[in-house]
Structure 1
Amino acid sequence: MRSHLLNDTTAELYRSSVTEGVERVAAKLATTTRPFTGVTPDALSPTVDAVDLDEPLQDTIAALDELEDVYLRDAVYFHHPRYLAHLNCPVVIPAVLGEAILAAVNSSLDTWDQSAGGTLIERKLIDWTTGRIGLGPAADGVFTSGGSQSNLQALLLAREEAKSRDLSKLRIFASEVSHFSVKKSATLLGLDPQSVVSVPVDREKRMQTVTLAEELRRCRENGLVPMAVVATAGTTDFGSIDPLPEIAELCAQYDTWMHVDAAYGCGLLVSNKNRDRLTGIERADSVTVDYHKSFFQPVSSSAILVRDGATLRHATYHAEYLNPRRTVAERIPNQVDKSLQTTRRFDALKLWLTLRVMGAKGIGSLFDEVCDLAYEGWQLLAADPRFDVVVEPNLSTLVYRYIPADATDPTEIDRANLHARKALFASGDAVVAGTKVGDRQYLKFTLLNPETTLDDISAVLDLIAGHAEQYLGDTLDRAS
């Protein structure tokens, strides 16, 4: 079995095996005509269940043949222009190259003696990102697994910086459409269920700062401690950006940690024309970015950035076998001193190669394209009497729902939209997401593929309308 270890004696096997895998994926990408086959869990499960993991195939070609049946054939392909569902982007080739390199070398980014140059590359990218944000010379950060982990670490730092050790008194303020990880993080940090105060949003789905000011005032009057305000720069459902300058002023007034969840909106950091939409982010104490959303990177590629690098000490623990205290005096750069993780992939390499091949302007132009497409899609929806669209997009998300000409019971309209989404997914012709606005069921386009066109959007809207109309027609037939 040593013949399968990657080393100097197996370099040729490595080359041929990876080449075979790449050839198959390339062929799949070239011939995929739909984002999904429509396979159901009941249909695919028996194929996977039939695999005996205790009986190896002993052959790479056979294993790849089997992989076609259990994965490649029925995968959901984000590169297809009619995948319009979640915050999953098509990936750029330099980043995929980085993924292949980092997997083979397998550096672990916790300590210098496991990564060397990888440590310096990650630190350079952190400095580059904090510079783009404008956090100042003391800024620092670390790569993470994703936005949820970044938000958790930011709120950990905020908790430790708060002027109270009584956790029951701490409060976090976030908009009613902020990411669910805010509440999840509060629970993980030992805070009371009521510690997260939900602040209403305006018609554009942006946090109402007048209400935030009132809630902060009430918090102080009741002897509680405003631990953090979480502003969102790109909400998951609407792509809305909270009024960052106004929130920054309130945080300064109440001496409250300002965290900006820019997991989605971070693409504006490299935008060639929309960077001003993030004005105010430079005043944050911490920022979440997900390069694997709007920088077109493979999962995972994310980071938590902080204005004052000294605050990262709240995640620091020393172990004699790993990062003993003496390494601090020796000025050895151990990234584990900043991270919630120990073993950690060299995900920074993907972004590094992307910037070295494409440049920031290249990434920004791709994100600008999808933002422009979303605006065109919003105009299309606003002019189409079959649909109700919620807000004009700040980024690249459209939330809408089908409304029949002879408007029926709102509950039936909800069911028609749910059916349309499920029927579309089952057909494999396109993939769209769903959400609720108030109590009503809506559909969602998350546009992150520059290859998607307005014609694609129009065609998918026609498919949705057709499925919804068929559902309503069938319901009417059954009733009669």
Structure 2
Amino acid sequence: MSTPPPLDHPARLASGPDGPHALRPLLDTVLDALDSGRHARGGPLPVGGPDAVAARIRDAVGDVLPEHGDPDALRGLVHALAEGAADPADPLCAAHLHCPPLAVATAADLAVSALNPSLDSWDQAPAASELEALVTRTLAHEAGLADSVVTTGGTESNQLALLLARESHGGGVRLVCGANAHHSLPRAAWLLGLPEPVIVPAPSGTLDPAALHSALTDLGSSRGSVVVAATAGTTDAGLIDPLPEIAGLCAAHGARLHIDAAHGGGLLFSERHRDKLTGLEAAHTLTLDLHKLGWQPVAAGLLAVRHPRDLAVLHQRADYLNAGDDTEAGLPDLLGRSLRTTRRPDVLKIAVTLKALGRSGLGALVDQVCARAREFADLIHDHPGFELHDRPTISTVLFRPAGATDDAVATVRRALLTEGRAVLGRARLDDRLWLKATLLNPDTRTEDLATLLKLVEGSTPR
């Protein structure tokens, strides 16, 4: 009979009777390496651009698969990753819908990694399967729908929404979406073999109802053969389509409505801002994504449905996972809850966050980032050296140096990235290039916003 290696050996298991004892010193190593890597980085992004970062990583890794193990591998590689990371918890890292995760959610994710359940059969994840059922129904009800399934994020949710539409109404179903829609929607139509999507103008950044009415009229009123995709929180500017008008047009034309609320869905938690999502409950399918405005570690997506029967098309039979007699005997069948087979219970971190913070706690975080965005917009508006695109709808602010060319705007952004001083995104609206600040850090302070403006100003060519 073999003897397990000592507790400090890297081949020790993370669970079982000795799991906590094996993990505890490793967690100290990881936390120390994260801290030392952050100090070595010194800012929101590593200095030097892609070539310099790649060189440092190659140097830190050395031989990827050495003949004999390196006892310092954990510390060294975590340090290298942290030193070369874009840190969404740094207030000057504000480019994307890339949130700093909550500590309580991250801790919950550790438990999932240690236990390693797989939600493809009940006997691999008994408690996790029930927890997922409870949480997904609760979140769907919060949006006015009936049920939801967990996904890897907005892209998978949008693809799944079109799959459900295709299976319910046939392969000729046509996607109609705004020019502001997320790129994953037309790509999903392509992947699923659907006809070429109809792209409706969005001249103000949101889908134009008059143009949608015209498109639906041109397509005819064959009930169920059209899926309209609206957006609640565009990627570029955080804008919300006129959902009630779009829902009314879908009802009048017999079209199915999908709403991509991957960005804006988190407004549901805020008493102050949830009215911006009026009309969400009219959706047949709804994309939500809590690793954006929900402060979850990636991944934390959901697809909610109005009619649970739509999910029946996902059902598959594999005797080793959901044999008929097992199902008849009461073992839950999990294969119809996802397009994936092996999948981790991402629901635990979501459940812990909902329970630990409650609606009011999550709502307060939403309110904080929205308030910071309004404050940043005020700073830009009052500064003669900058031009503000518009007031923020959620927490995205578009701006540019006054009088700058598009080439100059792009150059400013890349200079700040290369110097590791600030991380800003870019968006093209009104045929002009804008710098994009997506404020998802609730700890951002007024002085951080002022610093961000000063950095942009100092990097702008004169």
Query: Structures share a fold, TM > 0.5?
Result: yes
State the Cα distance separating 1:388 from its structure 2 match.
Answer: 2.4
Deviations 1:96-120 (A, max 9, x none): 1111100000001122111011011
The SS at the match of 1:300 is coil
Pairing 1:130-169 to 2, within 5 Å after superposition: 130-135=140-145, 139-162=146-169, 164-165=170-171, 167=172
Amino acid at match of 1:321: Y
Q: Tell me if the contact between 2:247 and 2:282 (Cα under 8 Å) persists in the aligned partners.
A: yes
State the Cα distance separating 1:9 from its structure 2 match.
Answer: 4.5
Pairing 1:43-62 to 2, within 5 Å after superposition: 43-49=52-58, 51-55=62-66, 58-60=69-71, 62=72
The SS at the match of 1:388 is strand
- Between 244-253 and 97-106, report the one with greater CA deviation: 244-253
Residue number in structure 1 paired with 2:279:
280
In 1, Cα distance between equivalents of 2:332 and 2:382: 56
Pairing 1:60-71 to 2, within 5 Å after superposition: 60=71, 62-67=72-77, 70-71=80-81
State the Cα distance separating 1:66 from its structure 2 match.
Answer: 2.4
Amino acid at match of 2:366: F
State the Cα distance separating 1:47 from its structure 2 match.
Answer: 4.0
For these two proteins, the number of residue pairs brought into alignment is: 451
Residue number in structure 1 paired with 2:123:
113
Residue number in structure 1 paired with 2:179:
176
Q: Work out whether 1:214 is the aligned partner of 2:225.
A: no
Task: Name stretches of at least 5 consecutive residues in structure 2 with no aligned partner.
Answer: 6-10
Amino acid at match of 2:218: R
In 2, Cα distance between equivalents of 1:56 and 1:367: 50
Percentage of matched positions with identical amino acids: 35
The SS at the match of 2:239 is coil
Residue number in structure 2 paired with 1:377:
376
Q: Tell me if the contact between 2:399 and 2:435 (Cα under 8 Å) persists in the aligned partners.
A: yes
In 1, Cα distance between equivalents of 2:138 and 2:19: 38
Q: Tell me if the contact between 2:41 and 2:84 (Cα under 8 Å) persists in the aligned partners.
A: no
The SS at the match of 1:258 is strand
State the Cα distance separating 1:360 from its structure 2 match.
Answer: 2.0
Q: Tell me if the contact between 1:220 and 1:226 (Cα under 8 Å) persists in the aligned partners.
A: no
State the Cα distance separating 1:129 from its structure 2 match.
Answer: 0.5
Deviations 1:172-222 (A, max 9, x none): 111111100001101110123xx211112243x22111110110000117x
State the Cα distance separating 1:133 from its structure 2 match.
Answer: 0.6
Amino acid at match of 1:427: E
| Aligned CA distance change for structure 1 residues 201 and 10 (closer, same or farther; 3 Å) | closer
Q: Work out whether 1:20 is the aligned partner of 2:23.
A: no
Q: Work out whether 1:420 is the aligned partner of 2:412.
A: yes
Residue number in structure 2 paired with 1:125:
135
The SS at the match of 1:442 is strand
Which TM-score applies when normalising by structure 2? 0.92
Deviations 1:449-476 (A, max 9, x none): 011123322222222122122xxx4xxx
| Aligned CA distance change for structure 1 residues 126 and 18 (closer, same or farther; 3 Å) | same
Task: Name stretches of at least 5 consecutive residues in structure 1 with no aligned partner.
Answer: 408-412, 474-480
State the Cα distance separating 1:56 from its structure 2 match.
Answer: 5.8
Amino acid at match of 1:453: R
1:103 to 96, 105, 113: 113
| Aligned CA distance change for structure 1 residues 199 and 143 (closer, same or farther; 3 Å) | same
The SS at the match of 2:167 is helix
Residue number in structure 1 paired with 2:441:
449
Amino acid at match of 2:48: V
In 1, Cα distance between equivalents of 2:20 and 2:260: 43
State the Cα distance separating 1:29 from its structure 2 match.
Answer: 5.6
In 2, Cα distance between equivalents of 1:119 and 1:95: 18
Which TM-score applies when normalising by structure 1? 0.89
Deviations 1:303-343 (A, max 9, x none): 11101111011222111111234444444323321211111
Residue number in structure 2 paired with 1:198:
199
| Aligned CA distance change for structure 1 residues 33 and 435 (closer, same or farther; 3 Å) | same
Amino acid at match of 1:319: A
| Aligned CA distance change for structure 1 residues 49 and 267 (closer, same or farther; 3 Å) | same
In 2, Cα distance between equivalents of 1:326 and 1:209: 51
Query: How well do the aligned residues superpose, as a CA RMSD in angstroms?
Result: 2.2
In 1, Cα distance between equivalents of 2:298 and 2:67: 28
In 2, Cα distance between equivalents of 1:131 and 1:289: 13
Pairing 1:237-386 to 2, within 5 Å after superposition: 237-386=236-385
| Aligned CA distance change for structure 1 residues 69 and 329 (closer, same or farther; 3 Å) | closer
In 2, Cα distance between equivalents of 1:351 and 1:179: 24
The SS at the match of 1:134 is coil
Residue number in structure 1 paired with 2:8:
none
| Aligned CA distance change for structure 1 residues 328 and 285 (closer, same or farther; 3 Å) | farther
